[in-house]
A = this chain, B = another copy of it.
Amino acid sequence: MSKNMQTELPGKTVERLSQYRRILYNSIREGKTNIYSHELANMMNLTPVQVRRDLMLIGYSGSQSKGYVIKDLVELIGKIIDSEHGQNIIIVGMGNLGRAITSYFSGKRDKLSIVAAFDNDLQKTDRIVGGIPCYHITQIKDVISKETVNIAILTVSPEATHEVAKKLLDAGIKGILNYTSVPLTVPEGIHLEEYDIVTSIEKLAYLVK
């Protein structure tokens, strides 16, 4: 048995694995069965070495003549990054961004499903929005425990961010993806990923300058 199944993978590698898989699905759809590191690298704007290194880290071996077997590779990536029984996600804040993510995501990944949405606008609550039941924010705790959700995507207004984050933590959430412009702090053991759109625009503006 490989030593890699338990070892921590570098964060960047995990991100790339997710993208390799998506690209490989496309290749399968086009009828390809094998792929070389440089092909995959081209499609993702990386170097072949980087691709090979990533695949090495997850313990996958290709052949010098045929490259990598796409089907096997996709399967292995699934073993590594998917959770066996699947994971439930909620999305808090059904503004434009919340709806965008929902529609992006719905039906794309079979091991991950967005099971509920929340908002504080009564016009949106207690009905189906984008195929997902939308509840009022006061019901977060109930739904989280009933559906065994451990991941939440935060797309609420800046003003509401701290209050909602607290609710999520109280309800026992294990990971938060924060798309608001307000930085959060979470206790030890909770995973937090922050992504701020304004920051990324300003960064690009700096680079272009």
Closest B residue to A112 by beta carbon equals B205
- Tell me, in angstroms, the Cα distance from A23 to B183 when the chains sit together: 9
A208 touches B97 (CB 8 A): no
Among B87, B183, B204, contact of A205 (Cβ-Cβ < 8 Å): B87
A199 touches B97 (CB 8 A): no
- Bits for A74-97, please: 1 = Cβ < 8 Å to B, else 0: 000000111100010100000111
Tell me the interface secondary structure of chain A in the complex.
helix
- Tell me, in angstroms, the Cα distance from A111 to B196 when the chains sit together: 18
List 12 A-B pairs, Cβ < 8 Å: A11-B203, A14-B202, A14-B203, A19-B183, A83-B208, A96-B99, A96-B100, A97-B100, A101-B197, A109-B202, A151-B201, A191-B207
